[in-house]
Amino acid sequence: MRPAARNVIEIFLQPGDFYFGDRNTRIRTLLGSCVSITLWHPHLQVGGMCHFMLPTRSARARARHDGLDGRYADDALALLMREVRAVRARPETFEAKLFGGGRMFPVRTRSAKHAAMLDVGQRNIDAARTLVGEHGFRVRASHVAGEGHRSLIFDVGTGEVWVRHGSDTASRVEPMREETETL
């Protein structure tokens, strides 16, 4: 006898979106220099994903819009934290995974400082690592940086994330030993 099939809903995240769901949720997105953070609670079988574009809003942009805006790393993580608190779980009981931050265009400049400033993908990766660590999540795996785009599929029921980088075939992301401790 085969186990009953799950009735899975499919969610596609656009830049600035986030979603938090139960075991019957599969979340997809497409990333370039943007970054996604997935959070998964293995016992509760709940989790979520955000898709942010920039590390933080400027003071001017924050003054125009006082609510949380998922296009920015700090706000996207605040939105996910609302959901973590709603299920009455602690951040350290979730598994976090980081994706994206690809270089989409070559940076041509003589100044290393200017090149770093223009590397939006790396700035997004740095923001994700910092924020995840500050909130107490454990980073279990990451697939970040490099050239080109990524396509992600996150199965909240199992915590598995499949990633396709550029024209590579999809592969499951396994925990990386060097990132199992809290940042």
Helix axes 73-86, 120-134, angle to 10 degrees: 30
25-55 confidence digits (pLDDT tens): 999 999 999 999 999 999 999 999 999 999 9
* pTM for this entry: 0.87
Q: Which DSSP string corresponds to 59-126?
A: HHHHHH--S--TTBHHHHHHHHHHHHHHTT--GGGSEEEEEE--B-S----S-HHHHHHH-HHHHHHH
Domain ranges across the chain: 9-179
In 10 A of CB 49, how many CB atoms? 28
Q: What is the residue-averaged pLDDT of the chain?
A: 88
pLDDT band per the 50, 70, 90 thresholds, residue 168 = confident
Mean pLDDT of 110-120: 65
pLDDT in the model for residue 125 = 98
pLDDT tens, residue by residue, 61-101: 777 877 999 999 999 999 999 999 999 999 999 999 999 99
Q: How high is the pLDDT of residue 86?
A: 98
pLDDT (0 to 100) of residue 180:
39
Yes or no: is domain 9-179 CATH 3.30.1330.200? yes
Share of the chain above pLDDT 90, in %: 71
The span from the CA of 64 to the CA of 59, in Å, is 9
